[in-house]
Structures are given as C-alpha cells and as structure tokens.
Amino acid sequence: MKQELYDLAERAIKIAKSAGADDCRVSIGGERFVEISYRDRKPENIKEASTKGLQVEIFVNKRYSSQSTSDLRPESLKTFIENAVALTKLLAEDPFRTLPDPKYYQGRSTIDLKQYDPDYEKVTPENRHSFVKAIEESCLARGGDKVISVTAGCYDSHSEQLLMTSNGFDGYEEASVFYGGAEMTAKDEGDRRPAEYSFAVALSRKALPRPEDIGADAAARALSLLGAKKIRTETLPIIIENRVVSRFGGGFMQAMFGRSIQQKQSFLADKKGQKVASDALTLIDDPFIPGGLGSRTFDGEGMAAKKRVMIDAGVMKDFYVDWYYSRKLGWEPTTGSPSNLIIPPGKRSVKEIMRDLGRGILITGFIGGNSNSTTGDTSIGITGQLFEKGEPVHPVSEMNIADNHLKIWQRLAEAANDPYEYSQQRFPSLVFTDVVVSGI
Amino acid sequence: MKKITRRSFLETGAAAAATTIAARAILPRGWYAFAQAEASGYFEREFGITEAMCRKVLARALAKGGDFADLFFEHTISNFLILEDGKVNRAACAVALGVGIRTVKGDQVGYGFTQELGEKAMLAAASTAAMIADASSNNPAKEFVPLKTKNYYPVKTLFSSVPLESKLPLVQSVNDKCFALSPLVIKVNVVFHDQQKRILVVTSDGVKAEDLQPRSYIASTVVAEKNGRRERSGWNFGGRREFSYYTPALAEKLAKTSVDRTLILFDAIQPPAGEMPVVLGPGVTGVLLHEAIGHGMEADFNRKKISTYCTMIGKKVAEPFVTIIDDGTVPNLTGSINFDDEGTPGQKTVLVDKGILTSYLHDKISARFYGVKPTGNGRRESYQHYVIPRMRNTYMLAGDAAAEDIIKAAGKGIYVQDVANGQVKIGEGDFAFYVSQGRQIENGKLGAPIKDVNIMGNGPKMLSNIIMLANDFEFHEGGAGACGKGGQAAPVGFGQPSCLVKSMTVGGVKG
C-alpha cells in the first residue's frame, strides 16, 4: 500500500498548490485491525475493519487551517481541498504559521526501530481466539469463587502512515500492534464489586507475556481490592505504582508544552535551568528504542527526532516546543510531542522500599482528579494498599491526595527498579514523602 | 478495557481542538453542500443508498443467523474556529463518512464497518459482523417503515449555510469583551465548534430512522495575572443549537462569566481535607449524578452483575423527595436525541422515583435480557463503534427549600459551584469529581473561594446522604462536555437543584 499512500499524498499536495496554497503538509494513515473479547467462555464482541484517513494542513497568505476526511474518492478529495484553501484565505493572518525550516528535517536517524513484526501476517483467527480464551481461563482460575465477571480481549493492527510536506519532507512508517488484556469483577462485602484490569501491549507478538500471566494478574489485582476501606486523613509516604505514574505525571507534563508556556498556562514557563524536582527525578525523551511504543525517527511535523534530557537530576532542561510555538516564543524548536519517556530506574524493588518506609500507601489506581497547568495545583482520588511494617494491611478506597506539582516533585525520594514496559512512558514506581492523604 | 493506539500524525499540532468552515455561501457545490435541512432521504439522495441495498446487506449480516442486525450510516461534518492571541487564526474541519454493520445474537455482537458506501464494501463488512453467529440464515424484514418521532432540535438553518463571515465576528467579540472587562486579563482563547451529524439506522426488524443532529458550542478560556500570580478559568455555552442561539448577548454573558470566574480565583484556596457536608450548587454539578448513579444504572453493567446497583431495583436508595431522570427529550440540550443509534425513539427514563430505584438504562440487548422495552439509551460515538447503553441528559428534580437555607443547614463544609470532570468505579460505586470552583461554608454562610479540589464519594451512600433539595433547578447550558465509556465519547447533559449531601471526602491539602 506504500506506493498508494505516496500517490495520494502527492495528488493532495498538487491539488492544494493549484488551488493557491503556498504550502501544505499531508498525513495519511491506513489501518487494518481485529478486536475480540470473551465473556462467559464465549465471544462477546468481534470487530474487524480497515480505516483510512487523510489530513491536510494548508498554509496560504500567512493563514492556516487543518482539514481531515475519510472520503478519499478523487472527485470528493479535490473539492474538499479546493474549498479548504478558499476558506483558509478568509481567516486572520498569522505570520508564525509556516512549515518548518527544512534544516530541521535533516539528520534523520537510520536506526531500525523494529516497529513492524513480520509475524503479523501469520496471525490466524484461531490464534486470536485461543490467546483470549487462555487469558480468560487463567483469570477465572485465579479468581476462583470470588469471580463475578471476567472479560478478556485482544486487539491487533497493522498500520501505515505517511507524512509529506510541500517543502521537501516525506516519511513513512509501518507498524504492528498486539494487545491482550482482562478485567475481573470480584465479590466483596455488601454491594461492593471491585474490578481491576491487566493488559500488555507491544509492537511484536513475541514481546507480549504469556496470556496466562495477563489473566492471572487481572485476577490478583481484583482480589487485592477486597475489603477496601478509608482511613483517617493523614500525612504519609506514598508509592505510586509504575503503570499509573503517567496519569499523575501528566499533570506536570501539561506545563512542559510550548503552547502552555506561550499562552501563559504553564507553572514551568520560567523554570528552565531551575530545580523543579528532587535529585531523584531525571526525565529522558528517547525516540530510538527498538520496539518502543513511542519510537520514531521524525515527529509529526517531520522534524528529525532526537534524544533529549528534559529534566536532569531535578533541573528543568527542555520543553516540548513545536515549530509554531517556537516562532511565537522566539525559541529553538524541539518537538511538539513526547516519544518514549524514561525515568531511570533505581536499585530497589517496591517490596524493599515498603519495608524501609514502614507505614504508607501503595497507590495502584487513580480516580477522577485533575491538575491546573497554570498553577500546578492538583487533587486526585486514589485506590491502593495501606502497608505497615512493609506488609499490606488492607486496601484503601474513597481517598484522595492533593498537592502542587512544584512542591510534590521536590519530595520525590526514590525511583524503584521496575520500569513499566507496556507504555510509551516507561516509568518505574515512584516514592514521595509527606503527602496529605485525605479520608475520614 | 484499555486499548493503546500509537501516536497519530493526525494529532499534529491540534492543541485545543480541531475542525471547519464548510460555509454553504462559499460552497455552492460538492457533496457536502446540503440542499436542505430535512433529514429524510439524505443518504439515498447523496450516496445512492436504497432499501434494496440495505436489505441485501442485512441479509448478509444474518447469513449465519443471529437475533437481529442493523446498519448505521453516518455523515458528519465538524468545524472548529479557534482564536488565540487576539485573532481567529486557525480553523479545522473533519468529515466522517461510513457505515457500521452489527449482528447480534443474545449478548454477542459481531461488528464491521466501512468508509466506502458501495455495495461490495458493505457486503464485506456484513460478512465480518455475521461471524458472531453460527447457525442457518435469517431474513431481514421485507419492508422498512420510517420511524416518526418528535424533533427536540429542529434545524431551520444548517451550519453549512452560515457563512464564515458571520461566525468570525462572534468569536472575535468574546475575546474583545474579555479584555475590555479587566486589565488583569492577559490571555484569551475562544473556540467555536459546530457539527452536523446525519444518521440513518436501518434494522433487520423493519425500522428505518433518519436524523440530523446539530451540536455546537462556544467556549472561552481566560488567563489573568495579579501581583505575579496567574489564574485560569473559563466557561462555555452550547447544546443541540443552531447558529441563531449565539447572539451578541450570549457572547457578552460568556465573556463576563469567564472573566468573573477567573478573577475570583485570586482569592481562592485549596480547602482542608477530610469528610464534611457538601452543598452542590444548581446546574453543572449534575455531573455528580452522572457519576454517582448514572453509569451504575447502565444496563450492560447490571446484566453482567458488575454494577453496585445490580441488585437494587425496587429498593429504597434515597429519601422520598429524590427523583432522578435520564431524558433524551429536553429541547436543545446536549444529550437529547430524537431516537437512539439503534432506532429506539427518544424518551424519558426515571432512574429513581421518589427514592425508589426504578429502571436501568437499556439498549436492545439488555432490554431483551431483562424482558423490558428498550429505553432509548443505545448510543455510539460513530459508525466505527457498536452500540452500548449510555446516558442522555441526567438530572434530579427540584425540592422546595430555599438555596440559602441549604447552605445554612450545612453549617461547616464546602459549596461546589463548578465541576470540571468526574469518574466512577461502577463495581464499588466509588466516584470522584473535580471541583474547579466553589466556596467554603462557615457558620452556615458562604466564605472564601476554593478551587482545584477532588471530591470522593460512594454512589449508593451519597444518594442516601442527600438530605435537602432546593427550588432552584437548572439545566447546564454548556455544550462542550462529553462522557467517555469503553473508549467511546458521547455528548451528554446535566441538571440539578442545589442540594445538600451530609458527608463526602474532600481531597484538600491540610490535615
């Protein structure tokens, strides 16, 4: 299909230019996917389809718009783009809107990121069903008589994406994705029916764990929530489990974008070179991890990907600044979007850290909550385990933590040795001291 | 279930939102320049979708049996105009076109969709859907009877007929008014969104339903600075509205609300933590109902016995003055629907009737399971998704107390004025919602402003803890909100009178 995407992109650029556009950027994506879920030992949903979509960003008379469509019939597309160019001319002028200087396209890495697993072609419907059945069976077995409901599922896709600009960039990517997961609801006291999930996602089939492990993990997690209660409001050390760190860290990250900074909605705007976290926090953006879910050799604007240290031992080093906001800010562009994010893991396991801390809360899930990127204030519901003398005492629910991102990261004490594999954000579990945990 | 998708080029640079400017005045031709507002016959006229073709595709979907099958045709045009740094300097448009084909057998669903509306592509998608069944074929109905419903959002003038020249000054005026209102304002963002969604549902049991669903909103975000401190807030108005709703008076009201709400934050604190009485102000705080009871009453969660409410029908869950309704028939409200996405007419469903839990929210699958009629809650994000039970507009009826008496009765606690978002764990019933604006209550009176605090509660516990309702019921007139479930977004609405909840956990900062 690669050639088909190139032909379509070239055609779209030609139409836009003949309609009067000064420049344009086209991205086209195509995907074939299959999704299956099981419940009660039979298929609950089977879904399969192919999608294709085209987005064209138009630059004309220092004006800008972006248009997307799934109707790619030649006549429709021609009318769509011509109309888009005409309408763009009616907007207000914005001298900062241009395509990137082509020098930022240069120096693209030639590394093989291993984004497409040739085994993808070999996956059969039978493979998928037996994979999901195995997840379901192991979850049912591990959940035992506490099971109320188990849903297991898989998803896989083969996708292609092409980015092309009228000032000389083109980049093509082909990727496969494999996903397996399960959710279990368990019987608890009264009307409480705690549910938890487990999943794994990877670009190659071999990188997935055994289905039995996914199912058993979902069950173990659901069972661990039985008998949850809230405790009185208290200041405690907390450990945020690896797989949910990204949800909490997202509140901090929002303030790292060029748009937040230029629009004066960032509590980090004037913090470059300053200490914004404890020495324990180093944050690296690494686009070059083979098989990484966020790996890439160019970004969404075509700028060559680079490895960057965003935060170095607590010191704010860099921001996510795309071409447009770099021009508005008068800064050098970096990239508008994160690739793979790494917080270097520490030496100790969560268990060892718990023993050391004595009493605290291991947070395994968040609920509700939000974060204010202008001020850094944040407040979010938590679920997890109260531990004492390093051992779990009981699960907690209906509790909350509240703080400010400029303060709480200064109290990051340690990163554990467990970087999370199934996300673009490969964060280890993190330990914070002196956090107000509100309950009764 | 979590599903991870890889980064998409299509998200490039779309910081706020993205989409269009399909103005009929400048677009006299082409397939998306609509000739008329009437829904009827649109897909046949524009795409050649005939009844004979539908019957053939439905027959293919039932080729291996199954209880029923349906087709969901969609053509949606979404436009965004975005103002930043004083000028409307960005527009975005998205066009979605396709058909989703579903085969249902008991509680099992087979689903395929295609973006090409040709017979060959549709038959292939139908074959995918048919895979869920494994018996001998069934036949679709011989005739499709057009569904007649009331229209809760009649459209006189399509958004695609409103010239860009009319929309631009509206957006610009909100910006200019915000800056004029206070010298402390340093940044303003304004987004105007309009969408027209055409749908056609054809079912194997012989229903054919066509609709034109408008949706629009105008939203502004204000950043202000005072003595080196910055605060941000905003507001939005919208719903299933035509362009005529967006008057200069509304723009004025939007600007004033946004600026007032931002400036008050300079005095705001994060409140103390712990359990305390909570008073919810009228309107948007209905998000509480959405999380605390609405999701838990969606029938799919109950037939699977994974909702905390699954054994409570017919039981007392709240005081007798509490009545909670989910309603698709409120004129022009964001969550209203003339019929749902599987062809069941729009209606009003009482969830809690004078304190007694009365009905779940059903789609066709759960209605069959429970042996009841579908309640018109079968909804989907787009042709790419299968139907699941979803809320529409969820609200609680007014009581008879005066709002100030409710605040007085709270004594010491917090008053919630605006809620940014919420979430619920349906099995436990534990929910949370994020208060972006409110006040402390001290000695029965409103005190210092508060902000950025999450409140936690448990659905059934919270319902039984509603001890007073005021006579100041309001629907939230915003249009920007959407509810997420199973990876699908759906527009929903809220409403509520002021209400006193005896106790909830406030996630404040001080011990």
> Alpha-carbon distance B232 to A167, whole Å?
38
pLDDT tens readout for residues A302-337: 999 999 999 999 999 999 999 999 999 999 999 999
Q: Is residue A312 domain-shared with residue A396, that is, in the same domain?
A: yes
Q: Which chain A residues are Cβ-neighbours of B114 within 8 angstroms?
A: 49-50
Q: Is A296 on the interface with B (CB under 8 A)?
A: yes
Q: Are A124 and A203 in contact (CB under 8 A)?
A: no
Architecture of domain B13-265: 2-Layer Sandwich (3.30)
pLDDT for the residue numbered A398: 86
Length of chain A: 440
Backbone CA torsion sign across B232, B238, B243, B248: negative
ipTM of the complex: 0.92
Numbered ranges of CATH 3.30.2290.10 in chain B: 13-265
> Alpha-carbon distance A424 to A286, whole Å?
10
- The answer to whether the Cβ–Cβ distance between A55 and B422 falls below 8 Å is no
DSSP SS3 for A373: coil
Kindly state the tokens that stand for B350: 């009482």
At A90, the pLDDT band (50, 70, 90 cuts) reads very high
Q: What is the pairing mode between strands B207-226 and B185-203?
A: antiparallel
pLDDT tens readout for residues A401-414: 999 999 999 999 99
> Alpha-carbon distance B41 to B461, whole Å?
49
- The answer to whether the Cβ–Cβ distance between B456 and A400 falls below 8 Å is yes
pLDDT, averaged in runs of 10, over chain B (511 residues): 32 27 30 45 92 96 96 96 96 95 96 94 95 92 93 92 93 98 98 96 96 96 94 95 96 97 92 90 90 92 93 95 97 96 96 96 96 97 96 96 97 93 89 91 95 90 96 91 88 95 85 49
Q: Which chain B residues are Cβ-neighbours of A368 within 8 angstroms?
A: 291, 421-423, 431-434, 454, 456
Picking from A265, A312, A278, the residue whose alpha carbon sits closest to that of residue A410 is: A278
Q: Is residue A163 part of a domain?
A: no
Q: Is residue A385 part of a domain?
A: yes
Nearest by CB to A398, from B434, B457, B508: name it. B457
Mean pLDDT over A371-389 rounds to 93
Name the H helices within B62-217. 119-130, 164-181
Looking at chain A from residue 365 to 384, which residues have their Cβ under 8 Å from any Cβ of chain B?
A: 367-370, 372-375, 377-381, 383
pLDDT for the residue numbered B39: 61
Closest chain A C-alpha to B5 CA, distance in angstroms: 8
- The answer to whether the Cβ–Cβ distance between B270 and A377 falls below 8 Å is yes
pLDDT for the residue numbered A190: 85
Q: Is residue A217 domain-shared with residue A366, that is, in the same domain?
A: no
Kindly state the tokens that stand for A409: 């990261």
Per-residue three-class SS string for B107-161 = CEEEEEEECCCCHHHHHHHHHHHHCCCCCCCCCCCCCCEECCCCCCCCCCCCHHH
The CATH number for A79's domain is 3.30.2290.10
DSSP SS3 for B67: coil
Per the structure, the complete domain to which residue A151 belongs is given by 118-158+174-223
Q: Is A199 on the interface with B (CB under 8 A)?
A: yes
- The answer to whether the Cβ–Cβ distance between B115 and A181 falls below 8 Å is no
> Alpha-carbon distance B465 to B501, whole Å?
5
DSSP secondary structure letter of residue A253 = H
Q: Which residues are within 8 A (CB) of A345 and not within 5 positions of it... i.e. 6 or more apart?
A: A415, A416, A417, A418, A419, A428
Kindly state the tokens that stand for B401: 């107390």
Q: Is residue A209 domain-shared with residue A289, that is, in the same domain?
A: no
The residue whose two tokens read 């990121």 is A113
Q: Is residue A260 domain-shared with residue A385, that is, in the same domain?
A: yes
Picking from A317, A335, A318, the residue whose alpha carbon sits closest to that of residue A326 is: A335
Q: Are A45 and B131 in contact (CB under 8 A)?
A: no
DSSP of B287-335, one letter per residue? HHHIIIIIGGGBHHHHHTT-STTTT-TTSB-S-TT--EEEES-STT-TT
Residue of B nearest to A63 (CA): B89
The residue whose two tokens read 């609680």 is B396
> Alpha-carbon distance B300 to B485, whole Å?
12
Residue of B nearest to A254 (CA): B15
Q: Which chain A residues are Cβ-neighbours of B230 within 8 angstroms?
A: 264, 374-375
- The answer to whether the Cβ–Cβ distance between B92 and A66 falls below 8 Å is yes
Q: What dihedral do alpha carbons A110, A111, A113, A119 form, nearest 10°?
A: 90
Closest chain B C-alpha to A352 CA, distance in angstroms: 28
DSSP secondary structure letter of residue A269 = T
Buried b (16+ CB within 10 A) or exposed e, B30-52: ebbbbeebebeebbeebbebeee
pLDDT tens readout for residues A28-58: 999 999 999 999 999 999 999 999 999 999 9
- The answer to whether the Cβ–Cβ distance between A91 and B507 falls below 8 Å is no
DSSP SS3 for A237: strand
Q: Which of A59, A72, A75, A83 to mutate to test the interface with B (most CBs of B within 10 A)?
A: A83
- The answer to whether the Cβ–Cβ distance between B434 and A369 falls below 8 Å is yes
- The answer to whether the Cβ–Cβ distance between B88 and A259 falls below 8 Å is no
Q: Is A26 on the interface with B (CB under 8 A)?
A: no
Mean pLDDT over A365-381 rounds to 91
Mean pLDDT over A266-286 rounds to 97
Q: Is residue A419 domain-shared with residue A287, that is, in the same domain?
A: yes
Model pTM score: 0.92
Q: Which residues are within 8 A (CB) of A238 and not within 5 positions of it... i.e. 6 or more apart?
A: A360, A361, A362, A363, A401, A431, A432, A435, A437
The count of domains in chain A is 3
DSSP SS3 for B408: helix
At A374, the pLDDT band (50, 70, 90 cuts) reads very high
- The answer to whether the Cβ–Cβ distance between B91 and A88 falls below 8 Å is yes
Q: Is residue A48 domain-shared with residue A123, that is, in the same domain?
A: no
Q: Are A31 and A49 in contact (CB under 8 A)?
A: no
pLDDT for the residue numbered B510: 66
- The answer to whether the Cβ–Cβ distance between A65 and B21 falls below 8 Å is yes
- The answer to whether the Cβ–Cβ distance between A148 and B97 falls below 8 Å is no
Q: Is residue A277 domain-shared with residue A333, that is, in the same domain?
A: yes
Q: Which chain A residues are Cβ-neighbours of B458 within 8 angstroms?
A: 398
Q: Is residue A368 domain-shared with residue A291, that is, in the same domain?
A: yes
pLDDT for the residue numbered B38: 58
Q: Is A50 on the interface with B (CB under 8 A)?
A: yes
Which residues is B187 bridged to in the sheet?
Answer: B223
- Phi-psi bin for B441: left (phi > 0), alpha (psi -120 to 50), beta? beta
Q: Is residue A113 part of a domain?
A: no
- The answer to whether the Cβ–Cβ distance between B454 and A380 falls below 8 Å is yes
- Which H or E run includes B252? helix B248-263
Q: Please give the distance of CA A211 from its chain centroid, rounded to a whole number.
A: 23
Burial class (CB in 10 A: 0-12, 13-18, 19+), A108: middle
Residue of A nearest to B127 (CA): A48
